[in-house]
Structure 1
Amino acid sequence: MTTPAIHTTAMSKMYGDFAAVSSLDLTVDQGEIFGFLGPNGAGKSTTIRVLLDQIRPSSGSAKILGHDIRTESLEVRRRIGYIPGDLAFYPSMTGEQTLRYFAKLRGGVKQQRIDELAERLQADLSKKISEYSTGNRQKIGLIQAFMHDPDLLILDEPNAGLDPLIQQEFMEMMREVRADGRTVFLSSHTLSEVERVADRVGIIRHGKLVVVESIDGLKKKAVRRLDFEFGSVVPDTLFDGIDGVRSAEFNDHHVSVSFDGSVNAVLHTAMDYEVVNLHSREADLEEIFLAYYRDDSSAGAKNVS
């Protein structure tokens, strides 16, 4: 059997009596893009910091590419690329100087590879880090994570500040990593960010892994929303009894309907009245959790990212 890219066994991180990560059992296979999903404060970044040996687990164990995260942390670092959620560089250095610095720490990276990535991401390497926008600084972070072609990429909220065209290029870069048999661990709080590229996803909520499944399986659980603007006030019982409707919120001429399954019955009912405007959107992850993974006992949980 192929050694997993990431394998954790009952891994926990406690802060006093609060579990930021609780008994995490997770296996990420080599050659896949794995989406690690959860709202802000769910425990995603804490999990990553433990995996990278930046903080120590309170209990349990973890291996990356077969190497223990504590006793073989240097070998782990050699084989990964990483971009943190709170990305920061030396502000007085240029992008080029920053990448040269990280390349030397890596023991050398081909300049041709750096130039190729800079061109793909439309990154200007001549400016100082302090002069970059959030998105341009993020490009430097992506280049340093990808430039040595690591066996495993660990990316924590990597899309921050990137414009849509660069996001598309970044998605293509991740697909190329997968096609090469290498692995991407993509942490995000945005379902739409990972659904285009991920093979499987794990959802963490309040420090607990609540589900691991394929992206298609997750989509079947996703609650969608239709926002109607009617020409007049409609009865607040309009959508009662409609198959798939989870809830309907009425506010004057506006009605927001959360549903799963087919949209036909919802639209057919609404068309009995004058619809002035209609907007469709997917529910965010927190709404999915509330619909499928409600845990009333955790309502008072603290926020630790």
Structure 2
Amino acid sequence: MTKLIEIKALEKSFGKTIALKNVSFEVNSGEIVGFIGPNGAGKSTTIRILLGLIRADAGTATIFGKDVWKESVDIHKRVAYVPGDVNLWPNLTGGQVIDLFLSMHGIKVDKQRKENLMKRFEFDPTKKCRAYSKGNRQKVALIAAFSADADLYIFDEPTSGLDPLQERVFQDCTREVLAKGASVLLSSHILSEVEQLCDKVAIIRQGEIVESGSLSDLRHLTRTQITFQTQEEIKGIEEQPYVHDLIREKEAIVFQLDADHLNEFLTFIQPYTVLKFESAPPKLEDLFMRHYETVKGGD
């Protein structure tokens, strides 16, 4: 596979604060990589380095085989970027800003494509930007990005402020650009978004990549919330090593289950008459916490 983004041993400090430490990962042609971590973990710093906005202290970062600092102008011609907090010119309309973004990219505006995206995102381009909510400001950047035929899309919390229906439009548009051969680096804290879109995930914690791979490879780090009720009183479940944070409610038992021990749990409750059984997939925060507990336990 062709490496579109290649980061090796990247380091960055701001005074005495270490923002990035030995960060390495890559994005190959035709794939989407989820770049995830809590606030302050180093995601935005990494992205700013990739965009040539700040310079790394050590290590290398290339896009299309070009140095992100020395050749940023050439790189930007083939990259579309959407930040998590979009600032716009207050006296321009949304439609004017979209056209301005595309002209800065050197792209001739495809009016039909732009109109189609505005319709899908339910966006009114005639209002002045000062009147837009956060979600509408995000739509301006997203419509401009998806209107461009970029080879690489870099999204930093792109759906911040969007409602669930618009999040789904974003996901559909992302799949469409992937189908055309583009690649995507997606920084997001929304697990469903990452699960549905990403081929691989890189987890950053306190400036370091602590885990990377496909989501299926990382399942051993997750816990699933189980809610169930049996006709008979169930005993001994608290002692099972795969059961965590168990709560006995009036009519049900709720706990966190190590995801790779589901079969063992089902075998355990097989002798009982099950009246209710619900399984909720782990949230991204659960993935973080499970991993951080593992890291702390090994320190």
Q: What is the TM-score of this pair, normalised by structure 2?
A: 0.86
* Matching residue of 2:69: 70
* Matching residue of 2:296: 296
| Distance (whole Å) between structure 2 residues aligned to residue 164 and residue 288 of structure 1 | 22
Structure 1 147/239 Cα, relative in aligned 2: closer, same or farther at 3 Å?
same
* Matching residue of 1:32: 31
* Matching residue of 2:144: 144
**How far is the alpha carbon of 1:273 from its aligned partner?**
10
Of the three residues 219, 241, 244, the one matched with 2:242 is 244
Instruction: Identify unmatched segments of 5+ residues in structure 2.
Output: none
| Distance (whole Å) between structure 1 residues aligned to residue 51 and residue 41 of structure 2 | 18
**How far is the alpha carbon of 1:19 from its aligned partner?**
1.8
Deviations 1:264-283 (A, max 9, x none): 737975997998x8764333
* Matching residue of 2:173: 173
* Matching residue of 2:100: 101
Q: What is the TM-score of this pair, normalised by structure 1?
A: 0.84
Secondary structure at the aligned position of 2:239 is classed as coil
Instruction: Identify unmatched segments of 5+ residues in structure 1.
Output: 300-305
Say if 2:27 is the partner of 1:21.
Answer: no
Moved more, 25-34 or 161-170: 161-170
Q: How large is the Cα RMSD of the aligned pairs?
A: 3.0
**How far is the alpha carbon of 1:240 from its aligned partner?**
2.1
Deviations 1:67-87 (A, max 9, x none): 101110101111100011221
* Matching residue of 1:61: 60
**How far is the alpha carbon of 1:142 from its aligned partner?**
0.3
Structure 1 270/298 Cα, relative in aligned 2: closer, same or farther at 3 Å?
same
The residue identity in structure 2 corresponding to 1:85 is G
**How far is the alpha carbon of 1:189 from its aligned partner?**
1.7
Flag the structure with more relative contact order, 1 or 2, with Cα contacts below 8 A and sequence separation at least 6. 1
Q: Percent identity at matched positions?
A: 37
| Aligned positions of 1:163-202 closer than 5 A | 163-202=163-202
Secondary structure at the aligned position of 2:197 is classed as coil
* Matching residue of 2:255: 257
Secondary structure at the aligned position of 1:107 is classed as coil
The residue identity in structure 1 corresponding to 2:116 is E
Moved more, 64-73 or 261-270: 261-270
Aligned residue pairs total 293
| Distance (whole Å) between structure 1 residues aligned to residue 298 and residue 207 of structure 2 | 10
